[in-house]
Structure 1
Amino acid sequence: ESSSPISVKSRRKSTSKSLLVDCVATGLPDPEVFWSLPDGTIINNALQSDDSGLRNRRHVMFGNGTLLLQQMGKKDEGDYTCYAKNKLGKDERKVSVKVGPNAPKIRFKSQSLVTIKLGESAKLSCEATGEPTPRITWISPQKDVIPASSDKFQIMDGGMLLVKKVTLSSEGIYTCLARNSAGDDVKNIKVEAEPQEPFINGVKGRSTTKVLGVSYQTAHLHCRVEGKPEPRVWWVTPYGLSLPAPYLGGRFQVHQNGTLELRGIRKTDEGRYMCLAKNNMGEASLLVEFDVASLAEKPTFSVPNIEILPIKPDGGELILECSARGKPNPEFSWILPNGTLLMPGARLQRFTHYLGVYRCLAKNVAGQEHTFVKLPTLSGRQHYPTQSL
């Protein structure tokens, strides 16, 4: 049987996504060929009995000795060695592979339209490959760069954009830009809200609420409307006057967002105010029961600002009184000498009284006022302070 020494020749052929490295080995008997990867992994035909499923692997060796390297990245750089041997000898060839920059490529570009209900969150994907790893930037329909996190948006791991609680102002074309040193790629996604009947302050159909105003001050009756097509919004006053949004006249103003502002409130402004919203999908209403309180008065005390209260010799129960007037009626609280705050209904376990003063605080919407009660020092004497409100 004739024989000859082994000769190995290698050749590289690359594409944007993969690299083919040929290993042509000649000799008699036919040499056995295998590859050694940079991490020491061995690939040969004995480990690959057939071609089934090989196309899904990142490193594939074909029967003629050619090595296919797929989805190349920086981690794949290094020396690839082709070995060939038979009973008469062996030979090898080393191929150094260096991965250069690879321009970004955004996947799933077919997702160009997302429809979603108002109030729900939309997820816009932007998965990009490239070397170095591309940086993802999102551009809003208003042509502004979207921050990583805000009240309206959040950019998730993997480049996905979360549009929080979609409104009509959220509609439009969002642009994903993937960029690295080798280039960039762009994907546009249009967000549309589904047609939907109006709802007011997050509630569909009819709803009711109460609002208390104070004479000569300003009150706001909120009517935040959503729906598609954009609903027509208007207010009806207790006297049957219809005020569209927006509206400006006299003491009443309806803002673009649906809020009714009442300035210089009078007692005669009390009554039922109705906010109505309507589009071709349906309608919604909000009934506001509006009451007007008299001009508020800051709390005042009838006793001196500081009172010294004698302690009875028998050491019995001691009541510290706190009485104040105001409109509306004030709420009371006590502050003990050690700084402890006691609200109405609060109870304390037995405690020791030391030098100091007890402060009574009266508070309402117009302001707050306080008065002091001082007790003499009785070392070791124990008391049960209570509130008389």
Structure 2
Amino acid sequence: MPQGSSACVSLPAPRASVRAITLENQLVVLATAAADAGRYYVQAVNEKNGENKSSPSIYLNVAVNKKYRGSHDSEAPADPVAPVIVIPPKNTTVVAGVSEATLECVANARPVEKLSLVWRRNTVEVASGVGSFGRRLTILNPTSADVGMYVCEASLLDSSVKPAEARAFLSITEAPYFTAEPRRKMMGEVEKSVDIQCQARGVPMPKLEWYKNAVPLSKLNNPRYKVISSMGLQVKKLQPSDAGIFQCFARNSAGEAQVHTYLDITSMAPAFTAAPVDITVTDGAVATFTCQVSGAPNPAIIWKRDTQILASGSMQISRFTLLESGGLQIQPVALQDTGMYTCYAANSEGAINASASLTVWSRTSISRPPMDRRVIKGTTAILECGATHDPRVAFDCDRVLFCSSSPSLGRYVWKKDEELVRPDQRGAYQPAGGLLAQSVKLVRDIGDYTCDVISQAGNDPRRPRLEV
């Protein structure tokens, strides 16, 4: 029957209490009697324009038992006929927010005038909303509190015959709604990841499906697109081709909802966030140049010395290592590594470079170590300590200790038994930086002495012993 239409049934005699028109426009004649015989037809009326049409008629013939032929209805059998459910209620599902939900239960018995219909929910009788001789239960503005099992019980009043009952479950569905959704426009950088939020709820729990430019992601089969149930969609290692409209659909039996975002992918030329700087190290040490670069896509890093490639993402030579940060590590450093080093960074948007120098000093070492001495008590012992150092490393007046207090200068330091020996202390004096003159008069002057050569290019100790 078209929407906006209604139906009515033409009945041959007025017995409304024993006749029921169901929700599906079926006519049910209860406790049929001779008076119900006759011709029936259905008339459909379009409520919008008043147009109506009638169906072909059908004839209902009621056969009466010979024993009661000629009797009135009131003379029908006195023995009661137990109730039976003719039209049981159906499991019903409605969408939250509808104005009403209706359950229907049509029963028959004799005498039909004593037939009673009662509705219950969770063993509790439901009185409100019952109409049409108890055959219909209408629940207005149903909510989740109305969900449950409903029982229609048909019984005969003043009779011991067994009642009949039928059950139906009322459930309420809720159209999907979003609890987390993305911004209308999102920006992402090449090679980075982006999270597109989309979470929804509803009854039953909705299923989420993602689309990109109206194509289901399941058809795109892109391994960089990962649906995460607790968040939404994650797109890894962004590429320019990922730009477009991403839609999130939430669907369940109550309906669907959708949100979308436009993902724009940005590209940026390389830029230094930490350029390499000049460094000075000692022969045999480790040298590390910094080179931190931003850009999209991620710039490729190459390190060169003059025109020679030292390290890149695809190759490196011995002792030279390209760090994850983009820096260059040289280990161990040799004197011949002194020179200018250049970091090159490039991507599809451009290229940059920056240079820094490496200075390698010769390591300071003691070339003339002090020797153990045995002297006569009362004489003066001379301990000599000579060092070789890089000419670019300045020493404290080159030989004389305590000529300057600058800690950046190389110097000789004498100790006895790990205690600093100062000039003119206990008969000691230093005529030159690497010389120690010790007047041996007491037992305490005998023991282990240490010559420490300290400089920016390394330190070197030697330990002579003085005995009498």
Larger radius of gyration: 2
Q: TM-score scaled to structure 2, two decimals?
A: 0.34
More relative contact order, 1 or 2 (CA 8 Å, 6+ apart): 1
Q: TM-score scaled to structure 1, two decimals?
A: 0.39
